[in-house]
């Protein structure tokens, strides 16, 4: 799911009570935030991370496709062999944004890179380059490990996200398309018996 639906939307609301029209309970926007702290996510952040992913899914109209739980994130992201890493942005101790990512490798380039699965910024903290700072921090860490590239995918209808990435120089790859097999179809594919031909 994740970034195949939307790698890094900057959603139009940051609190489950808030929408673009400013429904009752909406939180006010922050005009000039205090110091922005960016830190690695920890297992104590699992509930916050999962809640942010749910809001991200709701924003793009795909909340029904999210079947992950906070426990899934705890198991696969904070165990002995984590499948992903997270960076969390905070303003005055309050959650402001998230970047979930994991390492990849290019056989053509012969170098490692990083894949951005989810980028999320709370609405009230938008306009302060938090998303950009999260991406740059991930890219910097990747480069320290010998990485030379960053990949992500964007929801096809999210023009704002496309413009955001274009502005940062993260260009559309016109010669590729995302293809996937999920759930029961994946299990059937993986469990299909060999056809007897040499491997």
**pLDDT tens, 6-17?**
333 333 323 322
pLDDT < 70 positions in the chain: 1-34, 196-199
Owning domain of residue 6: 2-191
Q: Is residue 196 in some structural domain?
A: no
Q: Is residue 29 in some structural domain?
A: yes
- Output the pLDDT for position 63: 84
Buried b (16+ CB within 10 A) or exposed e, 107-116: eeeeebbbbb
For position 174, which CATH number holds? 3.40.630.30
- Output the pLDDT for position 64: 84
Q: Is residue 50 in some structural domain?
A: yes
CA distances from 82 to 25, 55, 71, 75, 91 (A): 37, 23, 13, 8, 27
- Residue entry with tokens 């053509």: 108
The tally of domains found in the chain comes to 1
- Output the pLDDT for position 8: 39
Please give the DSSP secondary-structure letter assigned to residue 124. Answer: G
Per the CB < 8 A criterion, the answer to whether 14 and 125 are in contact is yes
Q: Is residue 9 in some structural domain?
A: yes
């Amino acid at each position: 799911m994740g970034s195949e639906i939307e790698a890094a939307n900057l959603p139009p609301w940051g609190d489950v009570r808030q929408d673009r029209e400013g429904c009752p309970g909406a939180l006010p926007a922050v005009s000039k935030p205090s110091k922005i702290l960016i830190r690695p996510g920890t297992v104590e952040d699992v509930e916050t991370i999962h809640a942010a992913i749910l809001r991200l899914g709701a924003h793009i109209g795909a909340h029904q496709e999210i079947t992950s739980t906070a426990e899934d994130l705890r198991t696969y992201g904070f165990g002995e062999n984590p499948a992903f890493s997270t960076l969390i942005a905070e303003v005055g101790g309050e959650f402001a944004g998230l970047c979930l990512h994991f390492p990849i490798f290019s056989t053509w380039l012969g170098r490692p890179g990083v894949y951005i699965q989810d980028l999320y910024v709370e609405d009230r903290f938008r306009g302060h380059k938090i998303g950009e700072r999260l991406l740059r921090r991930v890219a910097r860490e990747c480069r320290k490990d010998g990485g030379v590239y960053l990949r992500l995918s964007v929801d096809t209808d999210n023009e704002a996200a496309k413009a955001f990435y274009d502005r940062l120089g993260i260009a559309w790859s016109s010669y590729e398309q995302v293809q996937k097999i999920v759930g029961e179809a994946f299990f059937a594919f993986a469990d299909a018996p060999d056809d007897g031909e040499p491997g």
